A and B are shown apart, each in its own frame.
Chain A
Amino acid sequence: RKEVEQDPGPFNVPEGATVAFNCTYSNSASQSFFWYRQDCRKEPKLLMSVYSSGNEDGRFTAQLNRASQYISLLIRDSKLSDSATYLCVVNRNNQGGKLIFGQGTELSVKP
């Protein structure tokens, strides 16, 4: 079983739709949680960190459920420019900056 699991998709949605991505992680020692975005043939970039209380950044909302070891990302009012692969990432802080990446969920937003 992979340490971070995501539905690879692809998710094909129309502009303006709300889309939700889920992710589970297996190691309860994980301490830091992130969503990264990777455009086709580009490097990953941090989209947002995920905090226990949940956090929002514009159209993006991230939630963390430590008891269930579950992370989510909600994108409201999808734009064409949101098309990318969204990577769920965890880190066990006692292992320095070792990020564990999920396989990524591909999102395609259509006009």
Chain B
Amino acid sequence: DTAVSQTPKYLVTQMGNDKSIKCEQNLGHDTMYWYKQDSKKFLKIMFSYNNKELIINETVPNRFSPKSPDKAHLNLHINSLELGDSAVYFCASSQSAGGADTQYFGPGTRLTVL
């Protein structure tokens, strides 16, 4: 069974479109995250939710809106996609929001904006 899963795995779309990426974890964790890995391979945190509550919100354009319907799911909706949004988006989860907890990453969603 996949611990952290994301859909879709690949997403190719035109500038200006709106798209969503879904994430689910079956580890029973309380905390979930979205990270962005750009073309230079830097991984940067975007958002974190703990028990469905937003706890980390980095400087991300408000075109990005996370939603956590329950603690096993964290979705990411992106409005008005731009070329610079092209990246790999990773979802992750951890037992708690404690800094020492291992984070488990999903396989990533490779977004290409044309």
Query: Which single residue of chain A is at the shortest CB-CB distance from B42?
Result: A103
- Checking B41, B44, B99, B105 against A97 with a beta-carbon cut-off of 8 angstroms, the contacting residue is B99
**Cβ-defined contact, A49 with B43, below 8 A:** no
Pick the interface stretch among B14-22, B48-56, B60-68, B71-79: B48-56
Q: How many residues of B contact A (CB 8 A)?
A: 27
Instruction: Give me the interface of B with A, judged by CB distance under 8 Å.
Output: 31, 33, 40-45, 48, 50, 55-56, 90, 94, 96-108
A46–B94 Cα gap in the complex (Å)?
A: 12
Q: How many residue pairs, one in A and one in B, have C-beta atoms under 8 Å apart?
A: 64
Interface of A is mostly: mixed
Contact B97 A96 (CB under 8 A): yes
Is A16 an interface position by the 8 A CB rule? no
From B99, B101, B105, contact of A92 by CB (8 A): B99
Q: Which of B56, B100, B105 contacts A98 (CB 8 A)?
A: B56
Chain A minimum-CB-distance residue to B107: A43
Q: Could you tell me the distance between the alpha carbons of A85 and B102 in the complex, rounded to whole angstroms? A: 18
Q: Which B residues are in CB contact (< 8 Å) with A43?
A: 90, 105-108
Number of interface residues, chain A, beta carbon within 8 A: 22
A42-B107, A96-B97, A101-B44 given. 6 additional CB < 8 A pairs?
A: A43-B106, A44-B43, A44-B105, A94-B99, A96-B48, A103-B41
Q: For residues 41 through 94 of chain A, which have their beta carbon under 8 Å from a beta carbon of chain B?
A: 42-46, 49, 85, 87, 91-94
Please provide the chain A residues from 93 to 111 with a CB less than 8 Å away from any CB of chain B in the complex: 93-99, 101, 103-104
**Closest beta carbon of chain B to A75's beta carbon, Å:** 20
Smallest CB separation, B74 vs chain A (Å)? 13
A27 close to chain B: CB less than 8 A: no
Q: A101 to B50, Cβ gap below 8 A?
A: no
- The verdict on A31 contacting chain B, using a C-beta distance below 8 Å, is yes
A22 is an interface residue with CB less than 8 A from chain B: no
